[in-house]
Structure 1
């Protein structure tokens, strides 16, 4: 787990141009879907509005498997 003072949410762009936030319901799901070396932080569901206020997103995807070649998000790379 990363130090919450430096935590940063990762946003992805969908194929249709929306901004997506990928969230995981448990650490084992994060590791299975994103790999074991992913930084992470816990956030209560009700705090998603805080993230939206800082940087708006269009959609939240839960427990999405990301192929290895797409695990390091880059600007403009579709989710």
Structure 2
């Protein structure tokens, strides 16, 4: 679903973001970004934890955040677009080095 004001999709009030590693403290989480075919930097978001696991794999570290946090994330790490519920091919999925807790919520 697209927002009337721009090309960005409408997002739920809470989203799940893939991260680079599992962490105990949400403040230590590092969000994973992806480059798309035209070299833009994309923030991957998932509408539910089930969607994240289905699209990224069961071992994908993640961070659950209110959508309002995305503006702060953009200020810290500018990105070009937001993608929602995109399937990551298995060969491109990250395998976490520290498969400890499988969730983090900010």
Cα deviation, 1:21-56, whole Å, max 9, x if unaligned, reads: 101111100000000001111111111011100010
What SS does the aligned partner of 2:42 have? Answer: strand
Length, aligned pairs only: 72
Q: TM-score, normalised by structure 2?
A: 0.64
Q: Which has the higher contact order (CA 8 A, sep 6+)?
A: 1
Q: Does 1:67 align with 2:68?
A: no
Moved over 3 A (4+): none
**What is the root-mean-square deviation of aligned Cα atoms in Å?**
1.2
For structure 1, list consecutive stretches of 5 or more residues without a partner in the other structure. 73-79
Between Structure 1 and Structure 2, which shows a larger proportion of helix residues? 1
Q: TM-score, normalised by structure 1?
A: 0.85
Q: Distance in 1 between matches of 2:70 and 2:34?
A: 16
Between Structure 1 and Structure 2, which shows a larger proportion of strand residues? 2
